[in-house]
Structure 1
Amino acid sequence: MKRKGTIILLSVIVLSVIAGIWYIVVKDLEDPVEYATEMPEQRTIVKETVATGSIVPKEEVNIKPNISGVIETIHVEAGEYVEAGDLIADIKVVPNVSSLTSAKNSIASQRNAVETAKLAFDNQTAIYNRQKELFNKGVISANDFDIAQNNYNNARQRFEQEKVALTGASQNYDIIRTGTTAGLGEYANTNVRATVSGMVLDVPVKVGNQVIEANNFNEGTAIALIADVNKMIFEGKVDESEVGKIKEGLPLEITVGAYDNKKFDAVLDYIAPKGVAENGAIQFAIKGTLKQSEDNSFVRAGLSANASIILDKAEDVLAIKEALVQYDPTTKKPFVEVAVGDQEFEKRDIELGLSNGIYVEIKSGITSNDRIKVWNALKPAATATNYGG
């Protein structure tokens, strides 16, 4: 029995030795790990955040009529340039019955006032003439004559005022009925004119459309939209997680996809003080004024665009990929492994600068001639074995 146990123990020992030798031989047959290296390079590193939005004019002016009616003629089309005062459209007035009746009654009332003032003036004229004759003969005193003359002057002034009021009532009636009156000329309400110079972006009405005047109770019908297309801005939104990183005055790089991703320079000049909830996140509106491009490219209003907000920039600095940087588990300080021979590396502490998430600036610790170990390179995928026939 004792001999049988000894044999089993020796068998286990022999098998263990054979397994150990096999493991060592197999490990020796494996290819050793060879680490690749990369060289530092001179780069410009830009730290930025991106906002989506569109290109719009800095100022847009809606041209609206001063009187209600029907569009009779339109003199401009979208895309045309106009100067302040140029004729935009003509309006044919459709009189309001209530206003027309009120204007007629006003004329009738004013005519009665003119007749009354004329009778009083004629009466004072007769009295004045009599008193003047008596005064010349020395029958009445100068004081009595002065009273008669003053009453005559007052009556004449009142008569003239009532005549002017009648003329105004008649003109008001003409304006209500036709939109214009004698003497207004180019200032007639039926002539809608541009109030600013710029490009006509849109003409939302057609001949025959009814329009409403702008007043305290109605914003009125827009006849044309005019803007200075040489003053364009970017309007977009940034997430609340980014708004704390930006400030007014930062440079923007606007990319317009419709123009083969052409880039335009701009300056951030507005950040909304209040955010708006959209799709479960708080968004803040921003605006940036576009600078005039060197080739004077025309940018159409309403185009979608992306704005890269440049938070910081380091030009022509020594940089490496951020994936090459390692951190000491104890001190948490950054370091890299620099090749000093064939697959031989030494640890070098480094000082980091600006990073864009891919490349990081190296302020000290290595030179442009050092070869940096790629310590976290991925192993190649194992080749699948084909067990099929």
Structure 2
Amino acid sequence: MRKIINFFWRRKILLAALLIVIAYGIWSFIISPKKDVRLSYQVQKGTVAEELVLTGQVKAAEHAFLSFQSSGELAWLGVAEGEVVKKGQRLANLDTKIPYETFESAVAELRGTQASLDNVYDQVQGHATDESFAQRDLRTSAEVRRDKSYRALEIAKKNLSNLYLTAPFPGIVSSVTYPFTGIFIPLSQGVIEVVNPDSLYFEVSADQTEVAQLKNGVKVKIILDAYPSEEVDGVVSYVGYTPISGEVGTVYKVKIAFTEAYDLTKFRVGMGGDAKLILTEKENVLFAPPEFISSDATGKYIFVGPQKKKVYIETGIEGEDRVEIVSGISAGDTIYD
């Protein structure tokens, strides 16, 4: 019987302790009045910029996915992923045995028809003004055969060149679809991807209301998602004249060139980020953080001094974290939120 009584007493004590803890928490965080903590800021002069923030990604002006203009067996592969290549360097080729034989036959055929034509020219020499029909027929037939063989050689030469892939610009091999030989490559199948890291730029899309504010030369601060604490300087180098096809609404391409050296080991094609386009910028002007500025029916105002006097102000350009103060307060004034 005593054990049962003790058990119930323990439960009552635990329940009472729990209620006390809950009551204290309610009092501390809800009922008890909070202290009036207000942030302050001393007005100063500096640079204020009106910015337009657009999302985009890194691209390369020199970026190509190379493919053969003919089908055939991959006979030679001379590069691997990550390898640096020069402009015009041979990268790979298909089996050239039969096309090369055709090319050699065309060379021999041209030599034969050219020799025949030279022989005919010797026969009709000195008859430029009194050439007979028979002589004209002989000369023309020889010229036609020579011309046909020349065109056949050019075709054979083109067909042979279609079996080779060369680097269109200096850069890095970023991908190789088939890193081995002996496989059949269909016509126009992408084989080797080459990108020139020195040609990187940042591209964003702007709608018709935004693009009206942009022009070549606008300064830009670029922040990549991969490196959120780093800013890279840039400048608008191209604003599209026609809308991007396939987009919802009227959207234009805007290219931003990097104006400072970037780390080739860090930047990659396809990296996303934000571009802060500086539309207007003023130096050595009064400014205040936007969170200290309020407004009512009369206008914009700010709380000044320890007494938090309400002072109406006139503002100028507005940036993301700074607002220009044209009149109403002076440098050194302390304002409160």
Q: Corresponding residue for 2:182?
A: 208
CA shift for structure 1 position 256: 1.9
- Mapped pair 1:88 → 2:54: no
- In the alignment, is the contact (CA less than 8 A) between 1:68 and 1:93 conserved in 2? no
Percent of counterpart pairs with the same letter?
A: 22
- Mapped pair 1:311 → 2:279: yes
- Compute the TM-score of the two structures, normalised by the length of structure 2: 0.65
- Mapped pair 1:320 → 2:283: no
1:230 partner SS: helix
Q: Structure 2: which 5+ runs fail to align?
A: 1-32
The residue correspondences of 1:236-275 to structure 2 (distance < 5 A) are 236-239=204-207, 242-259=210-227, 261-272=229-240, 273-274=242-243
CA shift for structure 1 position 300: 1.9
Letter in 2 for 1:320: A
- In the alignment, is the contact (CA less than 8 A) between 2:53 and 2:276 conserved in 1? yes
Cα distance in 1 between the residues matched to 2:295 and 2:136:
104
- In the alignment, is the contact (CA less than 8 A) between 1:254 and 1:308 conserved in 2? yes
CA shift for structure 1 position 198: 2.5
Q: Structure 1: which 5+ runs fail to align?
A: 1-29, 129-142, 181-187, 214-219, 375-389
Question: Equivalent of 2:62, from 59, 71, 79?
Answer: 59
CA shift for structure 1 position 281: 6.2
Cα distance in 2 between the residues matched to 1:239 and 1:368:
39
CA shift for structure 1 position 325: 3.5
Q: Could you list the per-position Cα deviations for residues 173-216 of structure 1 after superposition, in whole angstroms to 9, with x for gaps in the alignment?
A: 9879xx65xxxxxxx55433223332223323342343355xxx
Question: Equivalent of 1:46, from 39, 46, 49?
Answer: 49
CA shift for structure 1 position 94: 8.7
Bigger drift between 243-252 and 67-76 goes to 243-252
CA shift for structure 1 position 237: 2.5
Change in Cα spacing, 1:357 to 1:61, as seen in structure 2 (3 Å) is: closer
- Mapped pair 1:197 → 2:165: no
Letter in 1 for 2:334: R
Bigger drift between 157-166 and 350-359 goes to 157-166
Q: Corresponding residue for 2:82?
A: 79
Q: Corresponding residue for 2:269?
A: 301
Q: Corresponding residue for 1:379?
A: none
- In the alignment, is the contact (CA less than 8 A) between 1:68 and 1:94 conserved in 2? no
The residue correspondences of 1:135-284 to structure 2 (distance < 5 A) are 155=138, 162=145, 188-206=161-179, 207-212=181-186, 220-239=188-207, 242-259=210-227, 261-272=229-240, 273-274=242-243, 283-284=251-252
1:67 partner SS: coil
- Compute the TM-score of the two structures, normalised by the length of structure 1: 0.57
Number of aligned residues: 290
Q: Corresponding residue for 2:15?
A: none
C-alpha RMSD of matched pairs (Å): 4.7
The residue correspondences of 1:118-133 to structure 2 (distance < 5 A) are none
Cα distance in 2 between the residues matched to 1:313 and 1:56:
28
Cα distance in 1 between the residues matched to 2:96 and 2:262:
48
1:224 partner SS: strand
- In the alignment, is the contact (CA less than 8 A) between 2:61 and 2:201 conserved in 1? yes
